[in-house]
Amino acid sequence: MANLQDLPLELVVIILDCTDDASTLRDCCLVSKRLGTIAQSLLYQYFIQTLPSSPHSLQHPLGLLTRTLVSCSRLGGNVRDLDIDASDEHDPDNNLGRSPPQYSGEILKTNDISRVLGLYDGDIKAFIDKIRRFPSMSRDAWLHSLQLEPNLLTLLLLLHTPNLRRLVISVDQLSLNSLNSLVRISHGGIPGLSFMGNLKRLHLRCPTADQGNKVVLSDIMPLLFLPCLEQLWIDRCSEDDADESFLTQLFNIPPGTLSVTMISFRQSCVGAASIQMLIRACKALRSFRYNIGTSNAIQFNPEELYSALYDQRNNLEDVRVNLSSMEQDFAPTWKDRDYGSFYEFDKLKTLSVDQPFLKDLSDFPPSLRHLFLQGCQSPVFQAMSHVSAQSIGGLLPLLTEVSLFSDVLYPGRMLDLPSRGATDLLFDESCEKLSGLFFGTNVDLQFESGLFEKTVDDYDFAFNYGIPGTFWPLVSLG
């Protein structure tokens, strides 16, 4: 009777490639050498669980993975997806006054390094041999700049995954600087070393930003030039306004030279000039996302952002910008604006912006499919009636979804509820009135999840902490 191993090699690969269960692939590795070779290559393609740094034993997963890939280059070539934590896990206060490790001697204390990393001496020596080929920086100076052992381990792993397509990595400023050093050197004409040369998606997380270990936009500059990079995600990025040379660097990038098609800033605070230069440097930016951070020390207004996005109006398909925050209120300065229709963005499919970003009666491009209005600070009935009329009139033939999100600083204003005397009955009546505007259209109007509970909480917050006497709590009559 025929079994799996009797099938042609191509069919076996297709069957195993449909398996998303790691335990099944591991079992296949034990069946036979032929089946094991196929299963093993698939088993090592994706490591999507976070692998923490600072290993202290041979059983540490990142150390074990690195040792395996270093010892078998074939497996390292199969890796396509990695999620790594390269940030310093120790309390920064405990690192104060600590001297960086001293590397000296012919093998630079590889015994000590190997013991900490859970790697063999030969692995470290092989890594150092690669460092020796870098003519632009001395070996000792480069290793000294690593500062922490986890950085060395992470770089050793990345050096042995030449076909990596997606990298999610938690970094601090030290580890990011080490990563940048290797990127600059490896793409500076060194033969045989294409560090992250096939990387398409890069996601940088900065978990220690609140501990004073922030990552600034200038630190990420070298990564923009990775030859195949298409998507760049940055969490908790800021801008060092004291570093005026960074803007000069951005201005020196010729417009339309970067291959990046998607840029996403999450919980970040970056200046308008930097954003504009970065967007302008992209050849064809299709997606831009920006979510404001908790600090507004450096921030831009919507008019500046709109101006920056306008340069890519013939390319952008997805724009998601959220500038609403508890610390800053933009609404008064937008009253007499003459921008914000997005009508000329003729490929735009998804638009998610704060309500004050737009005109009261905006004209949207016919390509629009999804519209999300967040931070709504004033009644939306007239604007929604306008959108409904455009949909019925065939001006928005592809629009299928409109979603509304209220603003905590303006409780009930999205639904035109009174500041004093708001009730659950008035809430329900307003929601039904808005939904009725889209009867007979192909548009599905949605309210944010838990809108009623949020509205009640917002009224309570405004009553307790807002202007005295302006708000009363919402009353339930139903």
| Per-residue pLDDT reduced to its tens digit, 154-174 | 777 787 888 889 998 888 777
pLDDT of residue 209: 67
Mean pLDDT value across residues 143-150: 43
SS3 of residue 61 by DSSP: helix
Residue linked to tokens 């004209």: 363
Confidence of residue 455 (pLDDT cuts 50, 70, 90): very high
pLDDT higher than 50, residue 119: no
Residue 412 pLDDT > 60, yes or no?
yes
Q: Which of 37-41, 297-301, 307-311 has the lowest mean pLDDT?
A: 297-301
Q: Which residues of 212-225 are buried (b: 16+ CB within 10 A; e: fewer)?
A: ebbbbbbbbbbbbe
Local confidence band at 142 (pLDDT 50, 70, 90 cut-offs): very low
Is the pLDDT assigned to residue 399 strictly greater than 90? yes
Q: What is the pLDDT of residue 56?
A: 43
Picking from 229, 110, 235, the residue whose alpha carbon sits closest to that of residue 164 is 229
Mean pLDDT value across residues 415-424: 94
Q: How confident is the model at residue 406 (pLDDT cuts 50, 70, 90)?
A: very high
Structure tokens at 15: 């069957």
Structure tokens of 66? 């690195």
Q: Is the pLDDT of residue 144 over 90?
A: no
> Binning pLDDT at 50, 70 and 90, where does residue 393 land?
very high
Residue that the structure tokens 């009174």 belong to = 418
Q: Are 185 and 99 in contact (CB under 8 A)?
A: no
Q: What are the respective helix, strand and coil percentages of the chain, to the nearest 5?
A: 40, 15, 45
Residue 264, strand partner residues: 233, 289
Asked if pLDDT for residue 110 goes beyond 80, the answer is no
Q: State how beta strands 81-85 and 166-170 pair.
A: parallel
Q: DSSP 3-state assignment of 235? A: strand
Q: Distance between CA atoms of 427 and 184, rounded to whole angstroms?
A: 58
Q: Give CA separation, 126 vs 134, 160, 301, in Å.
A: 14, 11, 51
Q: Where are the alpha helices (DSSP H) in 187-337?
A: 217-220, 245-251, 272-281, 302-310
CA gap 36, 15 in Å, rounded: 14
In angstroms, the CA 434 to CA 436 distance is 5
- For every residue of 326-346, which 3-state class applies, written as one string? CCCCCHHHHCCCCCCCCCCCC
Task: Kindly tell me if the per-residue pLDDT of 118 is higher than 60.
Answer: no
Place of tokens 């190997």: 114
CB 249 within 8 A of CB 217: no
pLDDT digits over 56-81, tens only? 444 456 666 777 777 777 788 888 88
pLDDT band at 95; cut points 50, 70, 90: very low
